[in-house]
Structure 1
């Protein structure tokens, strides 16, 4: 599904361009959220035996790998069309946003790859580097999964915090955390943080070189185009983080450590269209409760905290800068009130009241 979404900007051109260059934006903000609501949820879990069949099927892996050449092909096509296609201003804006939306949504394919073997992780870094987010591997695998639902995690929105307040801390905090994590890794291995073994250095050099290549091929217009897809992808991922972790908090044990992540420390969403578009990362409680398990179809865990609607519908609502309500995702406050037995929710309330 990610590869199909990535191709929509090309479909807009094939339909004749003009207003059709806005097709991906309309699809993301209007069509998919409506479909998500109409189709509804599916709470069924995949049979464990079938899950093992998925994992052992090379074609399942290839179906994810193929996104990388599609991503690069569509990106280059959009850049070429904007740079040399003699488009009207409204067409340029529409195509630039469609390219950014398509790459931002579909890039979630790379999240799945980050939890597999070295080859898959390498492909995932290349996909994320195409939108300036190669550091995701370091922050997500070695930071987020350890600090989720704690004050140390920039991706976890505080109880009572609006999206537009949480997003800047999310984006800047992840960037800082990635460099810190790599520096600490080098020190543990007896090396200076600034060395050839530091992955953040190589990722950053790779992304800078890629932007240089784009400028060489398409001129200076590549800079605002890359900036657009970077901003769209960064803010898109911060929307996902907000919806998956808003207001949930792990209890600190007498030892000073936090309790292990469990089904209460991520919001779950089983809406069908959201699952198809987002590579089922919206079934997020299982992803954190069972870290490291490649999941073609994560399980819906009994007792997890359900989002009132699908992530696509909530994400479209976050696109409104005036949406500054302090009760998290629409309807989240009602869910919190209906779940008084959850320690994660009680702890979040206490933390918010104390701050």
Structure 2
């Protein structure tokens, strides 16, 4: 179970050494519960900070120690790799684990005598869990299987972000790395400015895209086939059940958790395409999305904990590929660290700009026509290029 050897008809052989690690990766999102369980055993509120230290401290440190993995499975092996139900089972197992963890943390928040600091720490921890749920929904929501798509809706609804599947699949993937995309950050744009553009914009665009899709089918926007409405209903059922169980006093905790969970998605979107832009062709359209239009990261530990989300270049170039077969491309721009580290950098805009802006301009070969730049800062970067 821990490894498996795949052989193709052409004679290629591939040993998946990460096979067993994918199963263990189920435990990573559940580390958000270390704080609440530690508090129940010790009564010490400071243990609620353990998950925060793990995700923002320990994992970045281990990323640097363990290093990167740039290996790819042979293309002749990919059909077997993606047909293996083991990898799909892992994602299905994680859905009820996340729902149970979410419900337990909500119970904990309203039944323990927490200080304001302790309450905020639990919100942050549960928001991390919601971030993992969104990542899982992202992986499953791209698939054609009805079971996986509904599992994605449940997972995304923990953060009240079920509209993501529509906006991401029909919107973001179509306009990624262009000024038209609300989920692609611009050179010179802080994560906080990006949040106010991307977070509410995602729901508005999802609704418009779904209304357009239903209109083409000559169906009313207000019917059960509206996937945005389906997701809203799933979220209301989950949140409503928890409110009926724990009382109305749990609602502020749920809303704060959803907001921080959504900010985890904003953080990922922000770093994944920062400043990158597809070339506009003579016909006015943008070139097809290529691996060079997404920031990539091959740090083994954080990639393993996020179902290869950090191999984002391959995902956008080939969105139907499953996580176990996503590849590294040499032409993809590389982030200087894994996502957990890059999140922290993004939360400090001056430090982010200092590190990432030169990398964006280098990748674009100092050509602002190849950069998705914040319009009000274009002159600043023109002057920066002239000085270089």
Same fold, TM-score > 0.5, yes or no: yes
Match of 2:349 in 1: 324
Report the Cα distance in structure 2 between the residues aligned to 1:189 and 1:347, rounded to whole angstroms: 37
Deviation at 1:89, TM superposition (A): 5.0
Paired residues of 2:298 and 2:311 also in contact (CA < 8 A): yes
TM-score (norm 2): 0.83
Report the Cα distance in structure 2 between the residues aligned to 1:342 and 1:300, rounded to whole angstroms: 24
- Choose which of 128, 132, 146 in structure 2 pairs with 1:105: 132
**Runs (5+) with no aligned partner, structure 1:** none
Question: Residues 107, 4 of structure 1: CA spacing in aligned structure 2 closer, same or farther, 3 A cutoff?
Answer: farther
Question: Residues 293, 84 of structure 1: CA spacing in aligned structure 2 closer, same or farther, 3 A cutoff?
Answer: same
Per-residue Cα deviation, 1:130-175 (whole angstroms, up to 9, x for no partner): 2111111101111111010112211101122111111111111111
Report the Cα distance in structure 1 between the residues aligned to 2:343 and 2:290, rounded to whole angstroms: 24
Report the Cα distance in structure 2 between the residues aligned to 1:188 and 1:202, rounded to whole angstroms: 19
- Choose which of 198, 203, 214 in structure 2 pairs with 1:186: 214
Match of 2:237 in 1: 209
Question: Residues 102, 295 of structure 1: CA spacing in aligned structure 2 closer, same or farther, 3 A cutoff?
Answer: closer
**Which is worse superposed, 12-21 or 63-72?**
12-21
Structure number with the bigger relative contact order (C-alpha 8 A, sep ≥ 6) is: 1
Q: How does 1:103-182 map to 2 (within 5 A)?
A: 103-116=130-143, 117-182=145-210
Paired residues of 2:141 and 2:149 also in contact (CA < 8 A): yes
**Which is worse superposed, 93-102 or 146-155?**
93-102
Report the Cα distance in structure 2 between the residues aligned to 1:101 and 1:350, rounded to whole angstroms: 29
SS of 2:323's equivalent in the other structure is coil
SS of 1:174's equivalent in the other structure is helix
- Choose which of 56, 68, 85 in structure 2 pairs with 1:29: 56
Paired residues of 1:97 and 1:229 also in contact (CA < 8 A): yes
Report the Cα distance in structure 1 between the residues aligned to 2:336 and 2:216, rounded to whole angstroms: 44
Q: How does 1:310-349 map to 2 (within 5 A)?
A: 310-319=338-347, 323-325=348-350, 328=353, 331-341=355-365, 346-348=370-372
Report the Cα distance in structure 1 between the residues aligned to 2:155 and 2:322, rounded to whole angstroms: 18
The CA RMSD measured in Å over matched residues stands at 2.5
Is the aligned partner of 1:7 residue 2:35?
Answer: no
Paired residues of 2:66 and 2:301 also in contact (CA < 8 A): yes
Aligned residues between the structures: 351
Report the Cα distance in structure 2 between the residues aligned to 1:2 and 1:225, rounded to whole angstroms: 27
TM-score (norm 1): 0.90
Report the Cα distance in structure 1 between the residues aligned to 2:120 and 2:378, rounded to whole angstroms: 44
Q: How does 1:25-104 map to 2 (within 5 A)?
A: 25-87=52-114, 89-104=116-131
Match of 2:13 in 1: none
**Which is worse superposed, 331-340 or 299-308?**
331-340
**Runs (5+) with no aligned partner, structure 2:** 1-23, 381-388
Report the Cα distance in structure 2 between the residues aligned to 1:247 and 1:176, rounded to whole angstroms: 23
Paired residues of 1:100 and 1:229 also in contact (CA < 8 A): yes
